[in-house]
Amino acid sequence: MLEKPILMPESGAYALTIIVPVYNEEDNMAALEARLSAYLPTALVPSCVLFVNDGSADGSLRLIKEICARHPHFYYISFAKNAGLSAAMKAGIDVAVSDYVGYMDADLQTTPEDFNLLLPHVEAYALVMGMRANRKDSGFKKLQSKIANGFRRAMTHDGVSDTGCPLKIMRTDYAKRVPFFTGMHRFLPALIQLQGGRVKEIAVRHFPRTAGVSKYHLWNRLVGPFMDCFAYRWMRKRYIHYVISERNFE
């Protein structure tokens, strides 16, 4: 018997739920709390924060619970074990019932303040996403991203220059229809476009990581995405999309 889906009815009181996946980021949690709590009163729409603890093995979950106890607009869910970024994003989207869902990384290489650059465009676009200006990464890291982005664009024709930017806002109804599986967080623009949704990129700020350790390396930044591109191409040919035009029931 299938379990009843878990929803977060509290998010219905907000226009935007900001999903923040967390995996072994205890050294970043204090700064993350400060930046997010400072942003919420300035957000252009009523917003809340949803931490998704991705089976952290350090003190991240304890700190998340303490943060949520201190702030009325902070919530969390926690995985029993590590499941990966795609799963964390999907879980946040699945439980949210706000009109829009946002996403940012816990490493603070982007800032929640820049959600206010994206929010003016959400009514016209199904996905509004950041594009990292003046990236503060190493040359090798930027080269890997450039190669991966170029190959992805050639395979998907999504027209997006920086799909890896961890600052995005989606209409929740579109986000819930995205066919997620491991690695597919890199293809959100293409998956939104499969539904007929429009996508817009906005330049946002980018900062060097000041605490914690990056979870990305050559395999999951370059080799893995190459393989995922072929999975996307396979799925695109078989994607089911329909619009009901009439019905005789409410």
Q: What is the CATH number of the domain that holds 112?
A: 3.90.550.10
The first and second tokens of residue 159, run together, are 């027209």
Inter-residue contact 205 to 110 (CB < 8 Å)? yes
3-class secondary structure, 29? helix
Per-residue pLDDT at 49: 98
- 45: Cα separation from own chain's centroid: 18
Q: Is residue 115 part of a domain?
A: yes
Nearest by Cα to 16 from 106, 128, 177, 110: 128
CA end-to-end distance (rounded Å), the chain: 27
Inter-residue contact 208 to 136 (CB < 8 Å)? yes
The first and second tokens of residue 129, run together, are 């996403």
Instruction: Provide Rg for the chain, Cα atoms.
Output: 18
Nearest by Cα to 188 from 215, 141, 223, 156: 156
Q: Is residue 250 part of a domain?
A: no
Residues spanned by the domain of 76 = 9-238
Q: Is residue 227 part of a domain?
A: yes
Per-residue pLDDT at 236: 73
Mean pLDDT split into 10-residue runs, the chain, 250 residues: 76 97 96 97 98 97 98 96 92 96 94 97 97 67 60 64 88 90 78 92 87 55 65 71 75
* Spatial distance between the Cα atoms of 22 and 78, rounded to a whole number of angstroms: 9
Per-residue pLDDT at 182: 72
Q: Is residue 248 part of a domain?
A: no
Per-residue pLDDT at 3: 62
Domain total in the chain: 1
Per-residue pLDDT at 133: 80
Q: Is residue 245 part of a domain?
A: no
Per-residue pLDDT at 138: 55
Q: Is residue 246 part of a domain?
A: no
Q: What is the DSSP letter of 26?
A: G
Q: Is residue 164 part of a domain?
A: yes
Per-residue pLDDT at 1: 44
Per-residue pLDDT at 210: 74
- The amino acid sitting at 19 is I
Inter-residue contact 25 to 106 (CB < 8 Å)? yes
Per-residue pLDDT at 245: 79
Q: Is residue 2 part of a domain?
A: no
Residue 53, beta-bridge partner list = 22, 78
State phi, psi for 184 to the nearest 5 degrees.
Answer: -80, -5
